[in-house]
Amino acid sequence: MPSAHPRSLTRRLGALDLRRSPLLLVLMLLSGLTEGLGLMLVVPMLAAVSGTAGQGRIAAWLSGWGLPVQLGPLLAIFVGLVVFRAGVQHIQEIERFKLEARVVDRLRERAWRALSACEWREFSRQRPSDVISLMVNNVDRIGEAVNLGAGFLSTCLTLAGVTVAALVISPAVTLLAIAAGALALVGYGRMRRRAERLGALANAAYKEIHGQLSDGLRAGRTIRIYGMQQRIADEGMAAFSGLRAFELAYLRDIGLGRLVLQGGGALALAGVLWLALERWHLPVEAVLPMVVLYARGLPLLGEVQQYWQGWRHSATAIDETLDLIDRAEAHREPHGVTPPPELEQAIAFDGVAVRFAGADRPALAPISLTIGVNEMVALVGPSGSGKSTLADLAGGLLSPDQGTISIDGVPLTGEARQAWRDRVAYVEQDTAFLAGTVRENLLWAKPTADEAQIRRALSDAAADFVHALPAGLDTRLGDGGRRLSGGEAQRLSLARAFLHQPALLILDEPTSALDAANEAAIVSALERARGRFAILVVAHRGALIALCDKVVELPAAGTLVPESLA
């Protein structure tokens, strides 16, 4: 569907920064000027052939500038203009590519930086496949739109040059043609609006395709177990077919518009020729240049319509991309040089609650609790009770909608909240690794760590298996760490957390999907680490809970908080 806040042409141009290419604009002007001058030379060349070279306003204009009106010199000037214009167009194409690349690269960087720097609350609302679709397909389509916009402007300027030449040769006939061309462009308004609707539908289809591909790859094992391969493939092909239907409808519209314009143009040309020769009795040498101008101007008018239609087709991609960037930048986290708070006593939650926009119930009901320095606390409760939300609050990812969080009595707000994350380590249920080496993934936590610190962290986390890998620390993990088993990935993630030397370690269901041996290894590692930092464990069950100094049970969503917690 179209953007909820469609942007005007001026806003789109301003946001894409299309008006800051003076060289390209100069090249477009030169291209249009040389086109018009070249066509104007047709008249004196025809006059030179017919023996009336010194007659006419164009011949007088050339003589006034001291230019020859003989056929030979006129042909030389004409050839020079054509060669010069070809050179201008060659440079113009290069500049158009540079403009397109500059806009696309800048938008991708701006979108990625905006998403990376925005509040976790806003970031977590984004569907990953939608973001990928936007960053790849939408931005590529914007690149095409930039080229279309530049082509539209260039063609308009060329058409203006042709129109000026036509006005010099035959003002009355040209004014008639201008009126017909303007009516034609107005008549195509409905088709341009349809192009925008088709563009919005194509955008939605791209999102659907990315979503299905993402889900299909992530759930590959489950799909095969339940024999759903054919259904998933059929649904994917249906989505691709829908996309092709929208693209075909758009191409049909373009073809229909071209057919109508060329047919109507040919009819109009025939009418003008009949009037000029039969009614107005104009000489042939005056009419032939008009035929040349008309033959050149009609395709240009078609290009103007096609570029305009293509721009409207890309409008939704532009609006959605710019809207995402605007939202992310509006939710940018405060950034400064505030040193992270030092945890020496306790993290205190006082009546803290969270409610996400659009949700029918709070993500976390009001709660008060403390996590002492070097204390190990477990959060338990049914799904949806807010355990992970409370962990995100403790880690500085979220700010509460109600209540306060403080460290040693200092409120965790603004720049302090972001700075606090430097003192937090996180081990998730679904481990996060890049496709680099073991060493590169460990150094996320502490880029300056030396070999001895890395080895100590691996040993503390029971992750010494790394040394037996084919290339040791320099073994590549593959996308998402797929080279590792679930237990190996969790122990390596724990080693990365230890390497960070946090004040608070958050464990979100770290052993829920592990076998008994791997769970025992992690429990043993955490038992040895007790007393070095505060530990917050999110769990439903398991041996980790037995290690904790305090167990906090969160109520089911929608119920009142027990007095012991509130």
- Chain segment 453-495, per-residue pLDDT in tens: 999 999 999 999 999 888 899 988 877 667 788 888 888 999 9
- How many angstroms separate the CA atoms of 558 and 555, rounded? 8
Question: Cβ(367)–Cβ(561) under 8 Å?
Answer: yes
Q: Do domains 9-21+98-330 and 346-553 have the same CATH topology?
A: no
49 vs 552: which has the higher pLDDT = 552
Q: Provide, rounded to the nearest whole percent, the portion of the chain with pLDDT above 70.
A: 83
pLDDT exceeds cutoff 50 at 2? no
Write down the pLDDT at residue 456.
Answer: 94
pLDDT exceeds cutoff 60 at 194? yes
Helix, strand, coil share of the chain (percent; to 5): 65, 10, 25
What's the Cα-to-Cα distance from 140 to each of 110, 133, 136, 317, 345, rounded to whole Å? 14, 10, 6, 9, 52
Question: Which sequence spans correspond to the domains of the chain?
Answer: 9-21+98-330, 346-553
CATH 2.60.40.10 is the classification of domain 9-21+98-330: no
What's CA 36's distance to the chain center, in Å? 40
Write down the pLDDT at residue 15.
Answer: 59
Looking only at the bridges linking them, the beta strands covering 364-372 and 504-508 are unpaired
> Mean per-residue pLDDT for 496-516?
85
Write down the pLDDT at residue 128.
Answer: 81
Q: Provide, rounded to the nearest whole percent, the portion of the chain with pLDDT above 90.
A: 14
> Mean per-residue pLDDT for 131-142?
84
Write down the pLDDT at residue 69.
Answer: 57
pLDDT exceeds cutoff 60 at 559? no
pLDDT exceeds cutoff 90 at 73? no
- How many angstroms separate the CA atoms of 457 and 492, rounded? 9
Write down the pLDDT at residue 20.
Answer: 62
pTM for the full predicted model: 0.71
What would the two tokens of residue 543 be? 């041996």
pLDDT exceeds cutoff 70 at 222? no
- What are the residues facing 112 on neighbouring strands? none
pLDDT exceeds cutoff 60 at 288? yes
Nearest to 324 by CA among 537, 139, 175, 536: 139
Write down the pLDDT at residue 4.
Answer: 44
Write down the pLDDT at residue 14.
Answer: 62
pLDDT digits (tens, 9 = 90+) for 302-337: 788 888 888 888 888 888 888 888 888 888 887 767
pLDDT band at 6 (very low <50, low <70, confident <90, very high): low
Write down the pLDDT at residue 301.
Answer: 79
pLDDT exceeds cutoff 90 at 182? no
296 vs 136: which has the higher pLDDT = 136
Write down the pLDDT at residue 321.
Answer: 85
What's CA 17's distance to the chain center, in Å? 16
pLDDT exceeds cutoff 80 at 522? yes
- Calculate the average pLDDT of the chain: 80
- How many angstroms separate the CA atoms of 134 and 310, rounded? 18
pLDDT digits (tens, 9 = 90+) for 231-252: 877 877 888 788 788 888 878 8
Ordered DSSP codes for 20-38:
--HHHHHHHHHHHHHHHHH
pLDDT exceeds cutoff 90 at 181? no
Q: How many helices (H) and strands (E) does the chain have?
A: 21, 9
Give the range among 60-74, 123-137, 488-502 with minimum mean pLDDT: 60-74
* Top-level class of domain 346-553: alpha beta
User: In this structure, which amino acid lies at residue 100?
Assistant: E
Question: Cβ(547)–Cβ(376) under 8 Å?
Answer: yes
